[in-house]
Amino acid sequence: MGLKHQPCRAPPPYKLLSIRSSTILTLVFFLTSFYLFFAPPWRFSEPFFWGYQAHFNGDLREAKFPWNKLCFGPAYEKLKLAVFSKTWPIGAAPGGMERHAHTLYNALATRGHEIHVFTVPSDRRLRRDIHQGNLHVYFAANDHGSVNCSLAFDIFNKVNAAGAFDYVHTESVSLPHWRAKIVPNVAVTWHGIWYEIMHSKLFQELISNPDGVLPGPMTELQEAMPRLIDEIRFFNSYTQHICISNSAGEVLVNIYQIPQRNVHVILNGVDDTKFVHDPEAGARFREKHGVPANVSLVMGVAGRLVRDKGHPLLYEAFSLIAERHPGVFLLVAGSGPWGRRYAELGPSVKVLGALEPSELSDFYNAIDVFVNPTLRPQGLDLTLMEAMHCGKPVLTPNYPSIVGTVVVNEGFGYTFSPNVKSFVEALEVVIRDGPKVLQRKGMACKEYAHSMFTATKMASAYERFFLCMKNTRYCHYPLPTDC
């Protein structure tokens, strides 16, 4: 195709709006989106992904609920899939999207499908390609360690020439939209969309600028509006769209104007053989890391210790809680600038640093409730699902992606508005309920996670999706082989 090995840079997609027009668009966005995005599900007259038919019979492309809810039988037809992913996990502490990709494509390869992943190593170092059975991972990095789109596409073309791919899958925009236009049979999984990111920028602005001091240059919030408009325009470059939350599916149909038949929800899953309920392992973890035996309640938070993960919120809220309830203890797993701040809170907090993936299950088992204070409404944190698999209830902001998909009722945990006052009130309820109530909710979480958030359920749904896209006879449910 005559393509040179260029970095993955997009052509200028739009002319930036003026500050004034951007501000007006931002105001319009908030006036409209707070109803659409934050209204409780029962506010919608015909919610796109709200209802679920327990005995669904029909075309899967018309399903208005996550495919994980269904039970797919074995597939006797094998697929050859091309995958574009931003990174591939190498070493400790990989990010959520990397862990999702590793879990999904290993599971599909184990099922006998031929998987070819075009990506870069997460540690940005020079690595050999990986060829393990049906899984083939090709590293195509530029000088900065990011994906070199042209090089990745050249490798893709060579592998495709040796036997055509049945379908091409990209994790978000790992396959840029201007290349997706020239590739037939493309599906994209969205781990976060700019409509949701706009709300993330809003929450961060409210936290960092509570007094409403007018900024000089354009804020991140104002600069995000042109990105949202551009994204809505280019989303049609992808043939099929997979969302990882019910709310994102609603947004793609109602706001991005993607045809309903081209939008599907498949929830992320985690390896439930690694994240298991094990109280004894939790007790050993507490002892190893010096958690006092006389504490009344242990809360835990895990992930990158940075602002957009909500650590300014948790720091302020727990500072107040520690004064009122000296028996409450906080375990902090992760690395980042807020680790030093947490250490200032004294003996009621233990900062563990980044944990190896093999230690995470023990960490979850060591706590009474998992706290996720994130200021990022986009996507779904895998930590919520991991904690639930370990039998722990969760405390998290009341974002649509979370309350519509994960914490679907109060039996699974607690939610709060992303501000300190609401957070403290929710923490007080957790403390009032105490370990016995938390344990009961944790068992409900474990049961729900096993029914929805397993690697097996996720891989089974993706497998059926790609078979359906290749041959429409697989779009009917149930087939005689389905369970």
- pLDDT tens-digit series, residues 322-350: 999 999 999 999 999 999 999 899 999 99
- 186 vs 175: CA distance, rounded Å: 9
Residue 144 located in a structural domain: yes
Predicted pLDDT of residue 319:
96
Instruction: Give 256-281 pLDDT, tens digit per residue.
Output: 999 999 999 999 999 999 999 999 99
The pLDDT of residue 99: 82
pLDDT at 346: 92
Strands of 349-353's sheet in order across: 349-353, 328-333, 297-302, 369-371, 394-397, 413-416
- Indicate whether 315 and 233 sit together in one domain: no
Per-residue pLDDT band for 198 (boundaries 50, 70, 90) equals: confident
pLDDT in tens, 212-259: 665 544 567 777 788 999 999 999 999 999 999 999 999 999 999 999
Tell whether 364 is covered by a domain. Answer: yes
H/E segment holding residue 289? none
Q: Clarify whether residues 180 and 262 are in a common domain.
A: yes
* Pair 283, 332 in one domain: yes
Q: Indicate whether 273 belongs to any domain.
A: no
Residues 471, 378 within the same domain: no
More confident residue, 224 or 294: 294
Tokens 């099929």, residue?
A: 240
Residue 1 covered by a domain: no
Pair 182, 91 in one domain: yes
Q: Residue 43: which CATH number?
A: 3.40.50.2000
Q: Which pLDDT band, with edges at 50, 70 and 90, does 163 fall under?
A: very high
Task: Name residue 270's beta-bridge partners.
Answer: 454
Domain-embedded: residue 35: yes
Q: Looking at residue 197, what is its pLDDT? A: 82
Buried b (16+ CB within 10 A) or exposed e, 193-224: bbbbbbbbbbbbbebeeeeeeeeeebbebbbb
Verify that 202 and 319 share a domain, yes or no.
no
Number of domains in the chain: 2
Same structural domain, 197 and 156: yes
Beta bridge partners of residue 175, listed in sequence order: none
Residue 22: is its pLDDT beyond 60? no
Terminal CA-CA length for the chain = 45
Radius of gyration of the chain (CA): 23
Q: Are 157 and 1 in contact (CB under 8 A)?
A: yes
Q: Is the pTM of this model over 0.75?
A: yes
Smallest CA-to-CA distance from 189 within 265, 102, 113, 88 is with 265
Residue 377 domain boundaries: 279-452
In a shared domain, residues 347 and 466: no
Lowest mean pLDDT among 145-159, 196-210, 397-411: 196-210
Q: Are residues 214 and 318 in the same domain?
A: no
244 lies in the same domain as 287: no
Which residue in this structure is represented by tokens 């999702």? 100
Identity of residue 461: A
Report the DSSP pairing between strands 186-190 and 167-171: parallel
Asked if residue 482 belongs to a domain, the reply is no
pLDDT digits (tens, 9 = 90+) for 58-87: 999 999 999 999 999 999 999 999 999 999
Q: pLDDT at position 437, please?
A: 97
Confidence of residue 98 (pLDDT cuts 50, 70, 90): confident
Give a yes or no: residue 202 inside a domain: yes
Are residues 224 and 176 part of one domain? yes
Write out the E strands in 183-340.
186-190, 240-243, 263-265, 297-302, 328-333
| pLDDT at residue 391, rounded to an integer | 98
The set of residues, in sequence order, having a beta carbon less than 8 Å from that of 433 and lying 6+ positions away, is: none
3-class state of residue 127 by DSSP: coil
Residue 348 placed within a domain: yes
Q: What is the DSSP string of 221-232?
A: HHHHHHHHHHHH
The answer to whether the beta carbons of residues 380 and 97 sit under 8 Å apart is no
pLDDT exceeds 50 at position 49: no
Same-domain status, 435 and 468: no
- Looking at the predicted structure, is the pLDDT value of residue 13 above 80? no
